Structure 1
Amino acid sequence: MNCRTFLAFACAITLSLNYALGQVTENPKVDEQSAQYVKIKRVELTDQFTIIYLEFIEKKSGMPQAPQGFNFPFKPGQGPVQGGNQIWLDPETRLYKPGEIEKKFKLIKAENIPTNSTKKVTAGEKVDFVAYFERLTPGIEEFDFYEGRSSQGTQSWNFYGIHIKNPSKKQSQNASKNTAKTQPSAKKPVEEAVIPQKEIAPAEKVSAEENGIAVLKGNIYNAKTKQPISAEIRYVEKGDSLQIKSSSGKYRLGLDPSEKYDFRVTAKGFYGTTFNLSPADSTEKAAFNQDFYLNPLAVGETITMPNIYFETSKYALLPESYAELDRLVDMMRENKNIRIRIEGHTDNVGDFDKNLELSRQRAESVQTYLVEKGIEKSRIEAKGYGGTRAITKGTPEERAKNRRVEFVITEV
């Protein structure tokens, strides 16, 4: 065997062993995570396992404290230890391919962290631990690490969008073939030296109900620039008020398929929005996609309030409007220097003067509501435009969009 043939043979063996023995990704990129004090340092793939090396660092004295009543994860039924917190890894932790939660990879074992008890940690302590999962199917190069939903007194460790090296068998074999083609003096195709691989069975398929979660994911954007923004999502689940923060604008939530959710999306310098979801009412209970576009709080910005309702042909507010109006109240409380103009609009059907008067009265009803909630009247102007500023024409359904209430930011 000449030198070139030997080098080609050795290269093919190396590529094959790299596939057989697994891929290693140091400090993998993670799109989002629920707890900043836990870090994924390394992901290693072997024939049998997906091995994840993690590091936990307990907060030091003098560091910002967690909210009152908050503790790091502890075993249900066991309270936090005096003088410190407790950590553990939920034995139901699993890995998912984003958007395909029927493909789950179960936790097999863990080292240096308990799964059926708890471990006390002290201020400034660092804990390195390892979690072994079923082997990710070759070709999955992005996955989620999902421990569970946080609740009062606990913080789950969830990582979304973990990027690793995990080529498919076909990619690995193609790499071997491409290496062989660069060695013209080899007498036999180099791919003959590839070590046969054990076929890995696809992950067990289970429904969202069996998994116990549904997934809501998407992005949060600046409505004007269409660029992602840092934001926060708040919601209530089984009586617990939960929130997640996204610095990149990308988010992913694990939800209980049997629950009904009201989400509130906020970002500093933007007018927030709300979103409702009932996974049980949908035929697709496993995964949902929802992007949000928030309007910046800048002078001249016109923001439509979609959920303001009045009695037919009258200006009395209906209770269904209160949630939307309370959101505006909160924004003005948080931004003391903002002044706005409430604008009422109607369609252009009927008497012009009556429509103009009705739109003014409706704007004033909104103004009155805000004042009763403690917002200074001097910060709120009210004006009616009747049907003079229609945004659409056509069918009655389309013209209904003209009947709306907006507010314009006049001072920041």
Structure 2
Amino acid sequence: MRHYYFIFLVLTGLTSSCMYGSYPSGGGQQYPSSGQSSPDDTYPGSSGQAGTPRPADPGVTVNSVRLTKDYTILNLTFTNKRQPHYDQNGQPDDQEFIEFDPAGQLVAANGARKFGFVRVEGIPRKSEKQNRGPNGEKLMSGLMTRPGDKVNFTLYFERLDKGLEYFDLFECNDYDQIVCWNIYNLYVNNPADAVASIPPPTTPAPAPAPVPNLPKKKTQLPPQPTGNSGGEMEAPKTKPAPAPAPVVTLVNVSGVVSDAKNKRPVTATIDYQLSSSKQMLDSVQSFASTGGYRMALQKGQVYTYIASARGYQSTSGVLDLSKVAGGQKLTRDIAMTPLAVGDKVTLKNIYFEMSKSDLLSASYAELDKLVAMMQDNPNMSIRLEGHTDIIGDHDKNLQLSRDRVIACQRYLVQKGIDIDRIQTIGYGDTRPILTKGTDEERKVNRRVEFVILAI
């Protein structure tokens, strides 16, 4: 969510390469009731229990977090905490405009899973088109608030995977004249389904051993209706009941790993885990001759994976089996991009605390791909490069970009990568991708990249 200040203020927040916020520790706090109903029935188990959410903007209060069959629903309140201000003519000029950017998303599983925005109720949705005045000036948009005003609103996102209980809301980047609302360490009770297991095959009970020298059992037949005398016959033999068919709970996932440029097969390792877990479950390797791989995964679950191979960029993805029946087959081909000295790669999902260099755990999935790449290529060395937008103080932007790439370097080293393989440099605002355009368009300037120096 964004607040637009009618008077352009000089904020202390700096532009940066990513989204920002902080991760406080959980605390078991109970959200107060919002008093607002949903058109959907509350999903069983979504009690509203919470950790300690921390909005990046102090004017935001989290009232409740709920799950339905289809949605993750956040009910929030915005309070305009600005002090009243008047212009030289005594007229109030302290309006604050609020709206929600549909690019906002929920991020969970250390950044491996993202859930898109669906709709907002209570405040406007940000338009993709910038409002302009008759002279081309940028106009404020959204719902106008004044100091002391409170606005209650509700956000709907795609439903979290079962088992994902802690997550974050990332709505936008911070700018000099636009304050971004992000909320971290949100919680909802969302237990995972038990992972089904295949029952062992049922075998019929062994037949009893025959007793020797005993005559076969005879059955005396009743008199026949014709008056003939009855005879004797053997008792009918009963067939054993057939064994129940085993319950099929596995989904067969297969595909081909290939070079993205020449389509040749690639020998890759595919590590996979449940989306709600931080621990790798297992891994498979693709065949050198065909690039083919196979794995059997439990139905009803959502998995994430990282595919890595020597000489290639690591790639990640999601295998959603929540609606796939057991026994079905799913095809997922994986294209690997080859590495070359001099290549420059943008790390797309790196998150820092607002206007600081503290790395957030939502960045770990992206950085883990880089860790896997450097482990598979032990001679690979890189240079991490940090960039900010052109708005703000030049010296502060420069220092911020330096501090942030050092934070990324520190994470890689903690994962076992030798620090001598990782150079760092911060360029601040000196190498923008765009020098014109709206704040939204220029957000591409805020980025962390790495350049391959050796393989």
Larger Rg: 2
Q: TM-score, normalised by structure 1?
A: 0.42
Q: TM-score, normalised by structure 2?
A: 0.38
